[in-house]
Structure 1
Amino acid sequence: MAVQNGQENVIEYLINHGADVEKATADGHTPLHLAASLGRLKATKFVLCHGANVGREDKDGFFKELSQGAKVNKGDKYRMTALHLAAQNGHLNVTTYLLIQGAEVNKGDNVGATALHRNAQNGRLDITEYLISQGAKVNEGDINDLKDIHLAIQLAIQHGHTSIIEKLVSEGADLNIQSTDGQTSLHKAIKLCNKSEEIIQGTDTLKDISDEYYKGELSPEKALVFYLLENGAKLDVKDKAGNLPIQYAKDEEIKQMILSR
């Protein structure tokens, strides 16, 4: 509980009074596993400084751990490394520390997803920016080329993380890469416009598009389609069903947006 709450003073007291830093739960999680997975960087370092076995695994093989000599690139049974988990859970400080300790920024898990893919689902722009600054490849697919699931730009679109979409585009993300079903980012974005709930995060960029071209009345989902078109999304790419992006448009405003190009 002290590790979970990041209470370093309590952790120190317990260790000084004989607490076993290697004691594991029924799932095999030690205090070190818990500290790292929850982003408790100070607690992680403190436990390591007091004799935690950096090679210790839990039952799934998580976290081969975080300090000199540690196997930071070792994965669990799904080949997810500590970096995947830190990025997926939105822990910038742990992500930074892992990369300093030698974590491989483009290492894939068992489906080839990298830390960038995992964070594209999470939506933390600061982590996306840091991963890219450390060499993360924005157009990386997975080992089986299943880009339908594991292309960062499409993951960001599907989860509505516009700030990450804009960052990936600015870093050269290819909007016209096709997934296993033949669909591009434009196909995916247009299909979002057919849903009743709003998914896309509003940003200044999308608001400016709405204000300048549609008198402020364009939804973020529709503004994203406009944004993708402005940034090179192609209209003539057919998916494996033989459909162009426009054929997924049910909204007349989207159809006119495309036909006016």
Structure 2
Amino acid sequence: MTIEAGGAEVADRYGRSELHYCALDGDGAQARALLAAGLDPDAADQQGHTPLHLATQQGNVEVATVLLDAGARVDAVNEYGNSPLFAAVFAYRGRGDLIELLRRHGADPHRANISGQTPVGLARLIANYDVRKYFADVG
């Protein structure tokens, strides 16, 4: 995978750019370099996952912060209608830093996916962790 002249990115067979894989790996410095080279923080793969979806899914706060600071859409949705906030709630493992980061950047806790489930609704359903506390302000 390479960046063509003018900053155009060449995706792999899944539609993922180097920035997608950087988001999975959690390398903030590399994310900054790729964004400076012109990669799109909102590029979607074949399933509609943006780098921000993947960073939140993997718990990579540094890369998520870099992406948001670069203007990534906080409420982008994948083919299932899931936002990065939904991914962060779903992948919650006792750490709420990503949920807090996304909420500070205006993520909509009521954005429903194609099944009608919202991040706040999912948080209320999860019984193994107290993820609900990150939505105490939401009715």
Provide the TM-score with structure 1 as the length reference.
Answer: 0.43
1:131 to 102, 109, 117: 102
2-structure distance, mates of 1:80, 1:32 = 12
Partner residue in 2 for 1:41? 28
Deviation (angstroms), 1:69:
3.8
1:158 to 118, 126, 139: 126
CA contact (8 A) 1:120 1:128 kept: yes
Per the alignment, do residues 159 and 96 of structure 1 end up closer, same or farther by CA in structure 2, a change over 3 Å counting? farther
Across the aligned residues of Structure 1 and Structure 2, the Cα RMSD in angstroms comes to: 2.8
Deviation (angstroms), 1:155:
2.4
2-structure distance, mates of 1:93, 1:155 = 24
Deviations 1:237-261 (A, max 9, x none): xxxxxxxxxxxxxxxxxxxxxxxxx
1-structure distance, mates of 2:17, 2:75 = 27
Partner residue in 2 for 1:167? 134
For the pair shown, the structure with the greater C-alpha radius of gyration is 1
Deviation (angstroms), 1:30:
7.2
Deviation (angstroms), 1:154:
3.3
Partner residue in 1 for 2:82? 113
Which runs of 5 or more structure 1 residues have no equivalent in the other structure?
1-20, 49-53, 55-65, 175-261
1:141 matched to 2:112? The reply is: yes
Deviations 1:154-200 (A, max 9, x none): 323336331x21111x221x4xxxxxxxxxxxxxxxxxxxxxxxxxx
Deviations 1:94-138 (A, max 9, x none): 111101111111111112110000000111301101100110111
Partner SS, residue 171 of structure 1: coil
2-structure distance, mates of 1:84, 1:153 = 17
CA contact (8 A) 1:32 1:44 kept: yes
Q: How many residues align?
A: 128
Q: Percent of counterpart pairs with the same letter?
A: 24
Partner residue in 1 for 2:40? 71
Per the alignment, do residues 152 and 30 of structure 1 end up closer, same or farther by CA in structure 2, a change over 3 Å counting? closer
Partner SS, residue 105 of structure 1: coil
- The structure showing larger relative contact order (alpha-carbon pairs under 8 Å, at least 6 residues apart) is 2
Equivalent residues in 2 for 1:222-261, closer than 5 Å: none
CA contact (8 A) 1:39 1:91 kept: yes
Partner residue in 1 for 2:5? none
CA contact (8 A) 1:121 1:159 kept: no
Name which of structure 1's ranges 27-36 and 102-111 shifts more when overlaid on structure 2: 27-36
| Structure 2 residue identity aligned to 1:93 | E
2-structure distance, mates of 1:27, 1:95 = 24
1-structure distance, mates of 2:37, 2:80 = 28
CA contact (8 A) 2:19 2:39 kept: no
Provide the TM-score with structure 2 as the length reference.
Answer: 0.76
Per the alignment, do residues 166 and 111 of structure 1 end up closer, same or farther by CA in structure 2, a change over 3 Å counting? same
